[in-house]
């Protein structure tokens, strides 16, 4: 199969990339969109105290409970630096943000009847989001807990086959971007087992959940999200010439 779709570059020379088909209103389609909303945020930025900061994921999880999905993650900025012209060091304070985003199947589908399927997906309260801002100095227990959890994975983990079992988690996705350690994995606890995840995550989730329930710093204006895009979207994005030195 060759050619382009309507003469629009697709990023896959020699192939035709068809547009996504229409969504048929159904609980399955609504769930698919909700999962994309939960998992597609790659970073975000916020203005705090009159200054703009970019928050990158440190440790994030997406847990599918079957009838509900919950994303819980801790994001952080680069070190804030010290007084004067001193370069920041890893020990300096950072802004942290706890992002907690949840989807409930029954609540989701019930609200479709109120506003319509398309309107609900585009602007309805399909996913409930909480963003709680603090610093490593104001919430040291949050930073310490995330450091310990990341270190637990950095020491090594395996996913092994297991006898069929009942578990409240249907599927677990974990992403870690710690100092010098990057990892991303997904597993299903019904038929597989990850001892490290099942020992490290519950206490971390409890601490992070408590932090999300506490009041935090209020950003100046809206939080700006960076969303994962498809290859054709990236290929067709406007091209801006690089800045040249003066």
Provide the residue-wise pLDDT of the chain in tens; the chain has 246 residues: 344 445 666 788 888 888 777 888 888 999 999 999 999 999 999 999 999 999 999 999 999 999 999 999 999 999 987 555 556 666 689 999 999 999 999 999 888 877 888 888 888 789 999 999 999 999 999 999 999 999 999 999 999 999 999 999 999 999 999 988 999 999 999 999 999 999 999 999 999 999 999 999 999 999 999 998 877 777 777 777 776 654
Query: How high is the pLDDT of residue 1?
Result: 38
Query: How high is the pLDDT of residue 123?
Result: 80
Query: How high is the pLDDT of residue 82?
Result: 55
pTM: 0.87
Q: How far apart are CA 215 and CA 172, in angstroms?
A: 28
Query: How high is the pLDDT of residue 86?
Result: 56
144 dihedral zone (left: phi>0; alpha: psi -120 to 50; beta): alpha
Q: In the 3-class helix/strand/coil scheme, how is the chain assigned residue by residue?
A: CCCCECCECCCCCCCCCCCCCCCCCCHHHHHHHHHHHHHCEEEEEEEECCEEEEEEEEEEEEEECCCEEEEEEEEECCCCCCCCCCCCCCCCCCEEEEEEEEEEHHHHHHHHHHHCHHHHHHHCCCCEEEEEEEECCCCHHHHHHHHHHHHHHHCCCCCEECCCCCCCCCEEEEEEEECCEEEEEEECCCCEECHHHHHHHHHHHHHHHHHHHCCCECCCCCCEEEECCCHHHHHCCCCCCCCCCC
């Amino acid at each position: 199969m060759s050619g382009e779709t309507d003469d629009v570059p697709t990023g896959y020379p020699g192939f035709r990339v068809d547009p996504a088909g229409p969504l048929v209103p159904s609980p399955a389609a609504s769930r698919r969109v909700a999962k994309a909303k939960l998992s597609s945020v790659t970073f975000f930025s916020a203005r705090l105290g009159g200054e703009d900061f970019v928050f990158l994921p440190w440790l994030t999880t997406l847990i599918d409970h079957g009838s509900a999905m919950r994303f819980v993650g801790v994001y952080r900025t680069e070190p804030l630096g010290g007084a004067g012209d001193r370069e920041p060091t890893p020990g300096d304070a950072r802004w942290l943000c706890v992002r907690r985003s949840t989807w409930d199947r029954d609540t989701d589908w019930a609200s479709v009847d109120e506003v319509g399927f398309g309107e609900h997906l585009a602007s309805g309260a399909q996913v409930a989001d909480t963003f709680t801002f603090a610093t490593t100095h104001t919430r040291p227990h949050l930073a310490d807990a995330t450091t310990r959890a990341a270190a637990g994975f950095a020491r090594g983990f395996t996913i092994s086959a297991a006898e069929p079992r009942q578990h409240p988690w249907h599927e677990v996705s974990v992403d870690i971007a710690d100092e010098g350690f990057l990892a991303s994995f997904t597993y299903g606890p019904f038929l597989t087992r990850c001892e490290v995840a099942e020992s490290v995550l519950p206490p971390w989730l409890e601490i992070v959940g408590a932090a999300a329930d506490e009041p935090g710093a209020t950003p100046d204006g809206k939080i700006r999200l960076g969303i994962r895009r498809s290859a054709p979207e990236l290929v067709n994005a406007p091209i801006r010439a690089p800045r040249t030195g003066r």
